[in-house]
Amino acid sequence: MKKIAILGALIALPAIIFITMKYTGKNYYQLEPVELPVVSGCEQGQNEEHQIPPFSLLTQDSTKITEKDLDDKIYVAGFFFSTCPTTCVQMTSEILRLQDFFADNEQIKVVFHSVNPEYDTPSVLNEYAKSYGINTDFWKLVTGEKEEIYDIAKCGYYVVARTDDSNPTGFIHTDKVVLIDKERNIRGYYNATKREDVDRLITEIQVLLQEYAFS
């Protein structure tokens, strides 16, 4: 418990500094705009006004989730599949730390999209959630039409998620997660297999929360 408390204090320190500077100085820390990549074949322009487009998918509980369910939420989007042998296990392990840190904050959610939706039915995703201790109120595992998932990866979040016959698993997907603000804007990319990047994600979510608190 002592180690957890120390870790929490260290991660929270940048947010505390932010609050202090907000009240005591003219300058305070805010997340910098993300330089978005140019992706060919996407209708929506690559600029800081880009918003995640509408979507309709199924959760591990067989309930529909759309962008409206994330209104007034900050969320973290990722891509995975339940039979992924290595990368997805690392990603899940690291994002569980984020789940533990923000478990009681209703403003924060996580959405992981399956890149193998034909196999990853809601019942399969539900078993995956149970096996890893995922809190499905906080963290949604979603499936749906393959084309919609691949399209929102490419033209919504600007990440890779697709089939790949040269890969032994048959799929390729990013190991990055994407931080999305309450206006559905992209605010950051983080390698979810690296502890230091997930620490940075936790810190920057806290900063984003403070931006909203003081706006």
DSSP string, 7-43: HHHHHHHHHHHHHHHHHHSS----PPPP-PPP-TT-S
- State residue 26's pLDDT score: 38
Q: How confident is the model at residue 27 (pLDDT cuts 50, 70, 90)?
A: very low
Which whole number is the average pLDDT over 46-58? 85
What's the structural domain count of the chain? Answer: 1
Q: How confident is the model at residue 11 (pLDDT cuts 50, 70, 90)?
A: low
Q: Give the residue, 204 or 3, on which the prediction is more confident.
A: 204
Helix-strand-coil percent breakdown of the chain, rounded to 5? 40, 20, 40
CATH number of the domain that 179 lies in? 3.40.30.10
- State residue 32's pLDDT score: 86
Range of the domain at 198: 2-213
Lowest mean pLDDT among 6-15, 75-84, 193-202: 6-15
- State residue 13's pLDDT score: 54
57-67 residue pLDDT tens:
999 999 999 99
- Portion of the chain with pLDDT greater than 90, in percent: 73
Residue 141 pLDDT > 90: yes
- What is the enclosing helix (H) or strand (E) of 131? helix 122-132
Residue 39 pLDDT > 90: no
